[in-house]
Amino acid sequence: GQNIDQPTEMTATEGAIVQINCTYQTSGFNGLFWYQQHAGEAPTFLSYNVLDGLEEKGRFSSFLSRSKGYSYLLLKELQMKDSASYLCAVPPRNSGYSTLTFGKGTMLLVSP
């Protein structure tokens, strides 16, 4: 399978910036996804990176380094509603890229 590592929990305060890291095995790489999941709800798509560099989308940005097997999700101007679990996902090796393997998720708690 595909080993994906991300921190279990993070805390931050409203208005701050937080960076959530994700590392993965580099062989057979075909893109990396970030999903957001609020408690009791379904995961929803946040971002996709297939090339090195930073992709910015409003308050959220996602960075990828393929050579290092490393990605991060950057959340700026944190709001209380950003409290959620953030899931890093990649297609598993030899899957034909028709499925995704998810990390265990990083639970982010934003406090006032």
Partner 1 sequence: NAGVTQTPKFRVLKTGQSMTLLCAQDMNHEYMYWYRQDPGMGLRLIHYSVGEGTTAKGEVPDGYNVSRLKKQNFLLGLESAAPSQTSVYFCASSHLSDTRNTIYFGEGSWLTVV
Task: Provide the binding-site residues for partner 1, judged by CB under 8 A.
Answer: 1, 31, 33, 40-45, 48, 50, 87, 91, 97-105
Q: Could you give the count of Cα atoms lying within 13 Å of 3 in the half-sphere of its Cβ?
A: 5
Q: What is the bridge-based pairing of β-strands 9-13 and 32-37? A: unpaired
Length of the chain: 112
Which is nearer to partner 1, 43 or 69 (by Cβ)?
A: 43
Which is nearer to partner 1, 48 or 54 (by Cβ)?
A: 48
Which is nearer to partner 1, 13 or 30 (by Cβ)?
A: 30
**Residue 45 C-beta: closest distance to partner 1, Å:** 5
Choose among 42, 59, 108, 111: nearest CA to 80: 111
